[in-house]
A = this chain, B = another copy of it.
Amino acid sequence: MKVLLIEDEPKTASSIKAFLDENGVDTELCLNAAEGLKKIDRQSFDVIVTDVIMPDMDGIKLSQVLRSKQIKTPILMISALDETEDKISGLNAGADDYLAKPFDLKELMARISALHRRSNLSNLSSEKINYEDLEINISTLEVTRSGKKIILTPKEFSLLEYLLRNQGRVIPKLEILEKVWNLGVEINTNVIEVYVNYLRKKIDKEFTDKLIHTHFGIGYYIKKA
């Protein structure tokens, strides 16, 4: 895990960095906000830990700048300001957590881990994608439902993968054609129907709760029951 620590007080900064490094975190340190912004432009971090009070720019402003740049890295603010109002303005500026000084370094570590865990929950980067009792492993191409192994062909797998990556919305057939088949509009959408049919036989047939559903006239979606 890579963490960017922005803290202008050198002593605090180095003791935090030392502790995080000990805990297996790859920590980069910046002593002011401007430097931090530059680093963020060049590389990506899992979590950003920033002080609120800094000489050149406060942590609130920093968060706003990052969010307006569409940078969605979790932000944890640390500050000597312990008033509710301070915390609220920090959180409202786009921070994900706010920890008042002095704090226990172990708590900081736990909060960083929690932020990291959550941002990794969204199936985007992980090897495995799951929904309910269905799980697919992108690297081994294995599929299981309720622990039971299911064997899919390559096309079946990529169709299922696409459906799972887009869980929570209805996916139009034309989009599936483009993304899974790399085809334009010319071809008949019947291929999809046939393959959805294959998937259903392998994944839903012997279970009570069906996961693949049809939205008439549009396409398909993943949902329990």
Alpha-carbon gap, A153 to B215, bound state (A): 9
Let me know if B91 and A104 touch, CB within 8 A. no
Are A97's CB and B84's CB within 8 A? Answer: no
A70 to B224 alpha-carbon distance, docked (Å): 12
A6-14, A27-35, A54-62, A115-123: which lies at the interface: A115-123
Residues of A within 8 Å of B, CB-based: how many? 45
CB < 8 Å neighbour of A123 from B91, B113, B168: B168
Do A87 and B110 touch across chains, with their CB atoms under 8 A apart?
yes
CB–CB A114/B139 < 8 A = no
Residue A22 CB within 8 A of the other chain: no
Residues of chain A from 187 to 225 with CB closer than 8 A to chain B in the complex: 215-218, 221
What copy number does this chain have within its complex?
A: 2
Q: Is A72 an interface residue (CB 8 A)?
A: yes
Partner of A139, one of B124, B140, B168: B168
Which B residues are in CB contact (< 8 Å) with A215? 141
B70 touches A88 (CB 8 A): no
CB pair A114 B91 closer than 8 Å: yes
Question: How far is it, in angstroms, between the C-alpha of A95 and the C-alpha of B110 when the chains are bound?
Answer: 10
Question: Chain A residues in contact with chain B, CB under 8 A?
Answer: 70, 72, 74, 84, 87-88, 91-92, 94-97, 104, 106-107, 110-111, 113-115, 117-119, 121-126, 130-132, 139-141, 153-154, 168-170, 215-218, 221
List 7 interface pairs A-B (beta carbons < 8 Å), by A numbering. A70-B131, A70-B132, A84-B106, A84-B107, A95-B114, A118-B119, A153-B216
